[in-house]
A and B are shown apart, each in its own frame.
Chain A
Amino acid sequence: MLLYLVRRVLYAIPIALAVGLVCFMLVQIAPGDPINAIVPADAPQEVVEQVRRDYGLDKPLPVQFGLWLMKVVQGDLGRSLATGRPVTADLVSAVGNTLTLALVAAGIGFVMGSLLGTVAAVFRGSLLDKAAIGLAAAGVSVPHYWLGMVLVVLFSVTLNWLPAMGAGPGGSGAWAWDWEHAKFLVLPAVTLSVIPMGIVTRTVRGVVAELLNQDFVTTLRGKGLRRGGIALHVLKNAAPSVLAVMGLQLGYLMGGSILVETVFSWPGTGFLLNSAIFQRDLPVLQGTILVLAIFFVALNLVVDLVQTALDPRIRRA
């Protein structure tokens, strides 16, 4: 099993490199001279020359990629075209905000989804089941950015219970763990939780329903186990698949939060991406996407490893 773990970790490295390559190519496919993508238009000539040397822009592409990669590994993601600040600094605080939002949304979505899915599977075919399926179907079909707007209209504009934008009073960009700030988290987190909730409901329902049909459940009943005992067995059997889906969903939440963050002006990576797109600020765009993608790769790795650890049938490499 150790061999499998090592192999799996090693396999992630070329993937990470390839991801880096794709991000690197983003700048290359952008229309216009790549130099304009890295340096603001009004920069003095010496700066332009310096950057040209640093990034090897007159050298062949593979060399450029190598140079860029070395900078990235040292934590240098370039400077924002719009603000001139190093990308890494802004990115770190943005990632923190998005992570907060994603984790809370994931928590809500996973817990609700598991409950709904289990209820639906146990009472399969009943009205409860159909209601749960319907809710899940709506959850995965809804455009979540629109749902965010709906919730804003309902809870902010009409009822005035919750704020519509920002992460703190006065639309501030800072997040703190207190009630004042928590109010700002509610609507975005709920909005973001809807899609994972729908997917987890469906997955759990499918997995649990399939398991309840299996022969070993009859054996468990035949042994005289009560519901609690049987539930434990079902849980352990369901865990690998369900956890895998949850892990993936967390990754999607991190990477796909841009739309919801835009609606709520939540100061996270999505918001950063949005302004970068608007301002054609390619270093910020590139840096953010790279970090999010690498995060996703790492998450996938963890999910794979956990899944293997939980299922004794996959022990041998």
Chain B
Amino acid sequence: MSTTTVANPAPAGIAVPQPAPPVSRGYWQGVARRLSRDPVTLFFGFILLLMALAILFAPWLSPHDPYQTSMIRRLRPIGFQDWRYPLGTDELGRDMLTRLLHGGRLSWFLGITPVLIAFAIGGTLGVLAGFAGGWVNMLIMRVTDVFYAFPSVLLAVAISGALGPGISNAMLSLTLVFIPQIIRVAESTTTSVRNLDYVESARASGAGAFTIVRAHVLPNVLGPIFVYATSLISVSMILASGLSFLGLGTKPPEPEWGLMLNTLRTAIYSQPLIAMLPGVCIFLTSMCFNMVSDGLRSAMDVRG
């Protein structure tokens, strides 16, 4: 009958092959491992790195002064006929390569800074709303809803249009556009984490609110919020350049990709390739940020 206990296996003398025990690794090591196996993300990340370095070292890499105009050297074509201007010159005779490198600094700055600020402010407000619940949540989320009632481009144009052109105005309006979006993501992430069992058990064991937020909530929400924010960088760049394109952001003669697209518009009939160059840069940057952000998101998704 079957009430006997099964004794310890493998009586002496018999070598039985045992299965190997599973190896457990930390979460972040898992993320790093998945990333390292993702050739697409690594590729775009590498390009992003190259661009960042080029832009950072723009003053040393540029062959010319970005502000120096010359009426006789207007709209020289791309190519090595005149090797001093490999990418040609713009409508005021300035070297395109130099302008693009320097323009990148402003474009990247305009793209990344609003997102960073929005991440800080929106993240805080969103986590607060998600964790506190009640009337705090209602207040923050209703105000967010109002801003959400505007399409982003429209809101950015509206605020910039009212305030007038200028870099700081543009950054202000972009930040205001992104804060509500980050608040929404932060709030919903925090709410779902807050309702998880292990937070309940932390509460049940008497942990104070601050401790719970710091130890349990933040580590789990910062990741997804951060990844969402990185996906906003490409939007921010396109919007920032778009504002400059409309005359609402950077003012001439500052080099900035969006502004350059605007001023070069008249050149599309004579030197179309040059007129399109700044857009290529925006496209490339935006694409790289998007692909890297996507890659990060799937590496961080444990369900895989």
Contacts and interface: CB of A to CB of B under 8 A. Distances in A.
Contact of A153 (B149, B151, B272): B272
A297 interface: yes
Interface residues of A, number: 47
Contact of B291 (A137, A146, A258, A300): A137
Contacts of A138: 287
A146 B276 contact: yes
A142 interface: yes
A26 B159 contact: yes
Contacts of B86: none
A113 to B, nearest CB: 17
B146 A30 contact: no
Contacts of B283: 141-143, 146
A308 interface: no
A142 B261 contact: no
Nearest to A130: B40
Given A256-B152, A258-B246, 13 more contacts: A19-B150, A22-B146, A29-B162, A31-B164, A141-B289, A143-B286, A145-B261, A149-B276, A157-B269, A254-B151, A276-B161, A293-B154, A297-B149
A149 B261 contact: yes
Interface stretch (B52-60, B114-122, B220-228, B234-242): B234-242
A153 B154 CA distance: 27
A276 B265 CA distance: 20
B132 interface: no
Given A146-B276, A256-B151, A141 B268 contact: no
A188 interface: no
A277 B244 CA distance: 12
Contact of A259 (B162, B242, B289, B291): B242
Given A15-B149, A149-B268, A157-B269, A285 B161 contact: yes
B294 A137 contact: yes
Interface of A: 15, 18-19, 22-23, 26-27, 29-31, 137-138, 140-143, 145-147, 149-150, 152-153, 157-158, 251-252, 254-256, 258-259, 262, 273-274, 276-278, 280, 282, 285, 289, 292-293, 296-297, 300
A23 B294 CA distance: 35
Nearest to A300: B149
B150 A296 contact: yes
Contacts of B154: 255-256, 258, 289, 292-293, 296
Interface in B122-172: 145-147, 149-154, 157-164
Contact of A293 (B149, B242, B282): B149
A285 B160 CA distance: 11
A142 B150 CA distance: 22
Contacts, number: 130
Nearest to B245: A145
A269 to B, nearest CB: 10
A210 to B, nearest CB: 11
B261 A146 contact: yes
A71 B57 CA distance: 55
B287 A22 contact: no
A149 B279 CA distance: 9
Contacts of B276: 146, 149-150, 153
Contacts of A157: 268-269, 272
Interface in B263-283: 265, 268-269, 272, 275-276, 278-280, 282-283
A15 B145 contact: yes
Contacts of B149: 15, 18-19, 293, 296-297, 300
B234 A277 contact: no
B181 interface: no
B290 interface: yes
Contact of B238 (A19, A143, A158, A277): A143
A26 B155 CA distance: 11
Contacts of A18: 146, 149
Contact of A142 (B248, B272, B278, B286): B286
B157 to A, nearest CB: 6
A267 to B, nearest CB: 17
A282 B246 CA distance: 16
A300 B146 CA distance: 12
B282 A277 contact: no
A141 B246 contact: no
A138 B152 CA distance: 20
Nearest to A290: B158
A278 B246 CA distance: 9
B247 interface: yes
29 contacts: A18-B149, A29-B162, A31-B163, A137-B287, A137-B290, A141-B234, A142-B287, A143-B241, A145-B245, A146-B283, A147-B279, A149-B261, A149-B275, A157-B269, A255-B151, A256-B151, A258-B154, A258-B157, A259-B245, A274-B246, A276-B161, A277-B160, A277-B161, A280-B164, A289-B157, A289-B158, A296-B149, A297-B149, A300-B149
